[in-house]
Amino acid sequence: MATMADPRWRALLAALLCLFGASVCAGKLAGFKMASLAGLPLTLDQPFVYENGEKCGADTGCLTYTSIGERAGEDALGAFFEVVEWTRTQAGTSVVFASRSYGDGTQVFKQEFPDGLKGTSTGDKDLVSTAFPRVAFPSDPALRFVTPGGYMVGWTLLSHGSTQSDLARFRDGEDGGVVVLFRPTENNLTESVVMSALSNAMAASVSLDREASRLNWGVQGLAEEIPPGFSLEVVLHPHSRSVVRNILSWGETLRKYHSTAKIPDPTAEYLSYYTDNGAYHYYNPLPFSNFRDVVVDLYHYAVQNEVPIRYLQLDSWWYHKGEGGGVKNWTAIPYIIPDGIGNLYETTGWPIIAHNRYFSSDTDYARQNGGPYAFTIDNATSKALPLEEVFWDDLLDEALTWGLVTYEQDWLDRQYMYTSALHTDVGLAGRWLDQMGGAALRRNVNIQYCMSLSRHLLHSVTLPAVTQIRVSDDYMLSPDQWRIGVTNLLAHALGLKPFKDVFWSSRENADNFFKDCDLAFPESIWHPLALTHRYGGRINVTASGKECLPWTDFGWDDKYYGSGMALNLCRNPEDLRDGPFCYTKAGFDIPEEEWEWEYCAAPVCDVDCYFGDGALYIGGHNVTQSGLSCVDWAGEFGLSGARCRNPDGDVAPWCFVAEDHSQRDYCDNECPEAVEYSPQLQSAVSTLAGGPLGVGDKAENLDVELIMKSCNKEGLLLHPTKPATVIDLYFTSPEYREVWTGYSTVGDHTFGFIFLAEVEKALSLSSFDLNLDEAFLTDVLLWQNYPEGSSHQQVIAAGEDVILPPCGGFLNFCLFYTSPAISAGGKDLFILGERSKWAPISPQRISGVEVTSEGVSVSVSGVEGERVVLSFSDGEVFDVACEFQVSGSMTIDVLSRVCSSLMQ
């Protein structure tokens, strides 16, 4: 480790003394350049705090420096040099600011409050009560940003753009928390820095001063006071070559700093059946009257058809709701699950993944409502929050009796955003998650975070029981919900299993709850899609026949991030207009007052069409399926007018077609049912995401062949080692928007994969561009395995670029794999693996590759009764089959093309 006499430390000390305004610095603090941050020209401004409702900073003379100290030391991140500045406010309160610099260029900034602070609220949740560091970026047209925003790890409001022209879309305050600044250089390289809270993430925020282009990091802006001894740290992590590599390294830094080892997570490793938003059985027990019968029917179908479901997810439909739709009592509603969840577990043997949401203001658990536990209640928003760990102990103990294995905490954003105490009490949000996570850890229960803000993602790195996280919006058969390349990267970087959400394995599920029409229900009618989205279908022309422009052409994909907003589909974001519409003339270079738009001719649910039995239909349709016109009801069933209705509980709306009411006929205006446009895409993305996988079809519609592309015979998911994530070029060009890569490592060998979707032209990329350096250390065979029947194969010499053919069209995707050359028998051998799977080479299937002078052997894992076929190429492709009589491992001698048991 360098000593204080080392000139490098002296130079760094001089810069840091300048940072803190010491007399040895010739210039002002605002002129200090953080040259160590990957070459980005960033500067630091003086810190400030709020005290007694007033902003207190060194620039105003309110915050004065009292002493400075420095030291060399070492912590979990390695050797560092630290400069500490003690300051005092005008009220006499001590505030300490410190900066640690590490050998790899990482910097950690700490603000500490030995005396605490009073009156710190700014009155604005998107500002900060304290600020250190304050990072200013220059007027540089090449400097760009990436900011996850909103819920689902920032999926909903993910934004990136130029710091010169796009700061209106920069995600900060309550919606933000992770900032990437980068500048492209030559040869597809980038200089970048990743910034985030390092500790106390739930209390931290970043606020962008858009006029000054300056980031203020500190305590979130509604904290009323800071308790004595409170501290908060922010990390700035640089990389001189790559954004994606920097994000992965930043995540490793956070995990190393907190030394948190995640507990094993079986529900992320085996096939599950999900009933959440998008699944056929989301709030829909049809064709049965309750969910017990649904699950029992599903279980018998799965057994008979060898669908290896291992876990069952129960969504929000099963428990009691109270004020504001929150949890009144987390127990099963008897008429929905007769005999209780425990009976389901005993009948099927499927352990339970149980959904929960925020608590209602009238929750039975709160002392204010006669319950036994301490809660804080926000009556203005109908939200409540438990305040003591014994609540979580008791809740989970009860759930263990009916089979709980994974606790899904959903609506994290709503609980945080609409519980005032989580803002005013600076430590409450962290304690809430710590108590939940601690109770789960003691019971070996996994936690899945859902609808998480960036602060939840960052805090999860401290909790061993939080092992999986949703990285997309609800499935809802959306045409763009699968686009998870960035959020998958963030989750994986922090050691979490990413979950894309449920999907249909088949294209159609008759009588489903999801309709391909505009949702314009009366307020009294509840429908899950009406909560966040309106029209979600595929219409992309206006009512007059004009083609819609992609929302990306003028930035609305970022402005109104959601279902289909990256495409040229008719939408109505945030109910801007009276129905689905699109722009036919718009662009960044066209003044907005010159933009042109038109409505689209989308059917309207429950007004122009009916769903279910049409009992709620109130529209004006008056023609039957036979083309006959309706006649006036004339008071029969209490109705009047000539319109289709279902007043008697029939199977569909109908009307009289004879004046004497002697004849009747059913109407023909059933709402078009939603379909899954590409089950294959959903299945591939869900598998290559590397986390939980949940199917959600009606039992008889489960596509067994497609499901088995993701797992082995007993439901073990065949994942890659590193899941699919975007490449750096994603952030600089839309041509690379859906180019994702990952790899599997077996022993000393790395097998890459490249996922392309909607890529309209051929691409030439280096192994560095693809983030697959280790996969291209030798000559490799690049081969295509999807679409099925693809014959593209190419041997690529080490150091050569990869040429990828186009894979364009709406929801079209292609999968390429790389296999390293292995010298065997005088020629190169390539292991292709199990080509019937999305991940042909998976550590769960292939546990070892041994190369000797006598040949190559491959260790294969399987279960009793399973037939595993592995493919190889030595100039010609050949297969070797392993028949497993017992569960365990078998060995393939590749040169003899024989698979044998280890016992032989």
Confidence of residue 27 (pLDDT cuts 50, 70, 90): very low
The string of pLDDT tens digits covering residues 144-153 is 999 999 899 9
Distance CA 512, CA 522 (A): 20
pTM score of the predicted model: 0.90
Distance CA 149, CA 297 (A): 41
- pLDDT value at position 573? 85
Shared-domain flag, residues 242 and 173: yes
- pLDDT value at position 747? 92
Give the alpha-carbon dihedral of 542, 671, 682, 268, to 10 degrees: 130
The amino acid at residue 812 is N
Shared-domain flag, residues 492 and 447: yes
Shared-domain flag, residues 229 and 355: no
Nearest to 613 by CA among 653, 648, 664: 653
Distance CA 98, CA 19 (A): 10
Checking if the pLDDT of 35 tops 90, the result is no
Tokens 């060399």 belong to 72
Cβ burial, residue 774 (10 Å; 0-12/13-18/19+): middle
- pLDDT value at position 13? 41
- pLDDT value at position 522? 53
> Strands 271-273 and 190-199, how do they pair?
unpaired
Q: Is residue 726 part of a domain?
A: no
Shared-domain flag, residues 636 and 665: yes
Chain-centroid distance, C-alpha 802:
29
Q: Does residue 871 contact residue 833 with C-beta atoms inside 8 Å?
A: yes
Cβ–Cβ contacts within 10 Å for residue 734, how many? 12
Shared-domain flag, residues 419 and 293: yes
Checking if the pLDDT of 679 tops 50, the result is yes
The amino acid at residue 149 is G
Distance CA 90, CA 62 (A): 5
The string of pLDDT tens digits covering residues 736-791 is 889 999 999 999 999 999 999 999 999 999 999 999 999 999 999 999 999 988 87
- pLDDT value at position 41? 81
The amino acid at residue 228 is P
Domain boundary among 584, 602, 620: 602
Is residue 464 reached through a cis peptide bond, with omega within 30 degrees of 0 on the bond before it? no
323 CB-near residues (< 8 Å, 6+ apart): 360, 361, 362, 382
Is residue 287 reached through a cis peptide bond, with omega within 30 degrees of 0 on the bond before it? yes
Mean pLDDT of the chain: 90
Helix (H, G, I), strand (E, B) or coil at 436: helix
Domain boundary among 546, 581, 602: 602
Taking each helix axis as running N to C, give the angle between helix 340-348 and helix 291-304, from 0 to 180 degrees, rounded to the nearest 10. 10
Q: Is residue 714 part of a domain?
A: no
Cβ–Cβ contacts within 10 Å for residue 218, how many? 29
- How far is CA 540 from each of CA 564, 585, 592, 873, rounded to the nearest angstrom? 11, 14, 21, 45
Q: What is the DSSP track for 111-160? A: EEETT-EES---S-TTSBSEESSEEE--S-TT-EEEE--SHHHHTTT-EE
Domain boundary among 258, 287, 311: 258
Nearest to 470 by CA among 254, 155, 890: 155
Q: Is residue 719 part of a domain?
A: no
- pLDDT value at position 59? 79
- How far is CA 219 from each of CA 98, 204, 210, 711, rounded to the nearest angstrom? 16, 5, 19, 45
- Quote the number of domains for the chain: 5
Distance CA 606, CA 519 (A): 8
For residues 161-173, one letter each, b for 16 or more C-beta atoms within 10 angstroms of the residue's C-beta and e for the rest, the string is bebeebbebbbbb
- Give the CATH number, domain containing residue 85: 2.70.98
The string of pLDDT tens digits covering residues 488-534 is 999 999 999 999 999 999 999 988 877 777 766 555 445 554 444 46
Q: What is the DSSP track for 337-405? A: STTHHHHHHHHH---EEEEE-PEETT-TTBGGGT-SB-EEEETTTTEEEE-SHHHHHHHHHHHHTTTEE
Helix (H, G, I), strand (E, B) or coil at 815: strand
Dihedral class, residue 775 (left if φ above 0, else alpha if ψ from -120 to 50, else beta):
alpha
Distance CA 66, CA 63 (A): 10
The string of pLDDT tens digits covering residues 595-648 is 999 999 988 776 678 877 888 788 889 999 999 999 999 999 999 999 999 999
Q: Which residues pair with 81 in a beta bridge?
A: 72, 101
Checking if the pLDDT of 29 tops 80, the result is no
Q: Which residues pair with 759 in a beta bridge?
A: 807
State the average pLDDT over residues 382-402: 98
Radius of gyration of the chain measured on its C-alpha atoms: 30
Nearest to 736 by CA among 184, 143, 38: 184
Q: Does residue 637 contact residue 648 with C-beta atoms inside 8 Å?
A: yes
Checking if the pLDDT of 33 tops 70, the result is no
State the average pLDDT over residues 12-33: 35
- Give the CATH number, domain containing residue 574: 2.40.20.10
Distance CA 203, CA 183 (A): 30
Helix (H, G, I), strand (E, B) or coil at 177: coil
State the average pLDDT over residues 363-383: 97
The string of pLDDT tens digits covering residues 94-135 is 999 999 999 999 999 999 999 999 999 999 999 999 999 999
Q: Is residue 58 part of a domain?
A: yes
Checking if the pLDDT of 4 tops 60, the result is no
Number of residues that make up the chain: 904
Confidence of residue 303 (pLDDT cuts 50, 70, 90): very high
Shared-domain flag, residues 193 and 308: no
Q: Is residue 865 part of a domain?
A: yes
Shared-domain flag, residues 409 and 324: yes
- How far is CA 327 from each of CA 39, 69, 272, 658, rounded to the nearest angstrom? 50, 51, 24, 51
Shared-domain flag, residues 356 and 330: yes
- pLDDT value at position 514? 79
Q: Is residue 358 part of a domain?
A: yes
Shared-domain flag, residues 614 and 701: no
- pLDDT value at position 602? 86
Is residue 787 reached through a cis peptide bond, with omega within 30 degrees of 0 on the bond before it? yes
Helix (H, G, I), strand (E, B) or coil at 184: strand
Shared-domain flag, residues 779 and 857: yes
Q: Which residues pair with 135 in a beta bridge?
A: 44, 215
What DSSP designation does 71 have?
E
Tokens 């006598």 belong to 854
State the average pLDDT over residues 268-284: 95
Chain-centroid distance, C-alpha 810:
22
Distance CA 119, CA 111 (A): 17
Taking each helix axis as running N to C, give the angle between helix 243-258 and helix 485-493, from 0 to 180 degrees, rounded to the nearest 10. 30
Distance CA 148, CA 160 (A): 8
Q: Is residue 801 part of a domain?
A: yes
142 CB-near residues (< 8 Å, 6+ apart): 183, 184
**Measured CA angle at 167 (ends 163, 173), to 5 deg:** 120
Shared-domain flag, residues 392 and 541: no
Confidence of residue 561 (pLDDT cuts 50, 70, 90): low
The string of pLDDT tens digits covering residues 526-553 is 555 444 446 877 789 999 999 999 887 8
Helix (H, G, I), strand (E, B) or coil at 579: coil
What DSSP designation does 809 have?
S
Q: Which residue has the higher pLDDT, 541 or 651?
A: 541
233 CB-near residues (< 8 Å, 6+ apart): 108, 109, 110, 111, 197, 198, 199, 200
Checking if the pLDDT of 437 tops 70, the result is yes
Checking if the pLDDT of 37 tops 70, the result is no
Cβ burial, residue 177 (10 Å; 0-12/13-18/19+): buried
Structure tokens given for 797: 């010499």
Dihedral class, residue 649 (left if φ above 0, else alpha if ψ from -120 to 50, else beta):
left
Structure tokens given for 290: 């309750």
Nearest to 586 by CA among 535, 547, 560: 547
- Give the CATH number, domain containing residue 363: 3.20.20.70
Q: Which residues pair with 192 in a beta bridge?
A: 182, 239
Structure tokens given for 593: 């007052």
Q: Is residue 587 part of a domain?
A: yes
Structure tokens given for 96: 């300490």
Distance CA 245, CA 850 (A): 30
Distance CA 871, CA 192 (A): 41
Cβ burial, residue 325 (10 Å; 0-12/13-18/19+): middle
Confidence of residue 560 (pLDDT cuts 50, 70, 90): confident
Q: Which residues pair with 851 in a beta bridge?
A: 856
Distance CA 490, CA 171 (A): 16
Sheet of 855-862: strands edge to edge?
846-852, 855-862, 888-893, 898-901
For 404, the domain range is 266-509+675-707
Shared-domain flag, residues 492 and 552: no
What DSSP designation does 570 have?
-
Tokens 């207009």 belong to 577
State the average pLDDT over residues 261-283: 96
Cα end-to-end span (Å), the chain:
54
